[in-house]
Structure formats: structure tokens, C-alpha cells
Structure 1
């Protein structure tokens, strides 16, 4: 039986585009139970409520751009 370490070692030898395809296939093979039932709506609502209750935690677009050196 091939071990995970052996598969990983071989996968890292693949070119970037082939590794990306492999990753996409592996992710697609996982059960949907690993996804949010509401497509992340509950998390977005929680974050929105947090921003409303603690406005100082907000970041302006200019601050966001500056954080990434743009």
C-alpha cells in the first residue's frame, strides 16, 4: 500500500498546473458535509453584527489597500 508521505512526495514533483488540477479533484471528492449549510451566510451575518457593535474594528478601503502595500 502506498503511504500518504509517498503520494505527497510524488505530488510535489508535479508542475504547478498539474498540482492545481490534482488539488481541485481531491477537494471535489470530499463530502459536502464539510461545507457550510448556508453557504457562509451565518458567518457573514455574525461578522456584520460584530462590525456594527464594535465600529473601531472596521477598516477603510484605503487602510486595507495600505495594509497590502498598494
Structure 2
């Protein structure tokens, strides 16, 4: 049986499109990490409901970009 290092070396020799397809197949073969008890998912659902109830709470992509740029300074 091939070791992970051997498989990785072979995979890295593949053309980009084939590596991407292989990566997608490997990711699809794994169980989902998003579960109901995942606090991150619950937070996202809560925030989505808040935006549905009051769309003015959201910000534009441009404003988000400005805030991110400001934090980097």
C-alpha cells in the first residue's frame, strides 16, 4: 500500500485541473463538519435572521472593504 507521502507526491505531479478534481473528490468523501450543534452555524443562522428582520443592520461590500483596510493600517 502506498504511503500518504507517495500519494501526495503523485498528486502534486498532476496537472492543475486534475489536482482540483482530485481535491474535490477527496473533500466530498469526508463527512460534513457543519452540524446543528456547531456554534458557528447557529451564529450564522441567528445573524441571517437579524438581517432578514432589519436589513439596515447590514453593510455594503464597499464598507466592509474599507473596514478591513482600516484594520490593516
User: TM-score range with shorter-chain normalisation?
Assistant: 0.5 to 0.7
Q: Quick one: distance in 2 between partners of 1:4 and 1:41?
A: 32
Counting only pairs closer than 5 Å after superposition, residues 51-70 of structure 1 correspond to structure 2 as 61-66=61-66, 67=68
The size of the alignment, in residue pairs, is 57
How does the TM-score come out when normalised to structure 2?
0.54
SS at match of 2:42: helix
Backbone CA RMSD of aligned residues:
3.2
Deviation digits for residues 2-31 of structure 1 (CA, Å, limit 9, x no counterpart): 110111111111111111110111111112
Distance in 2 separating the partners of 1:30 and 1:2: 20
- Corresponding residue for 1:19? 19
2: CA distance, partners of 1:25 / 1:61: 32
TM normalised by structure 1 equals 0.55
Structure 1 gaps of 5+ residues are 49-58
Paired with 1:23 and 1:15, the residues of 2 have a C-alpha distance of 12
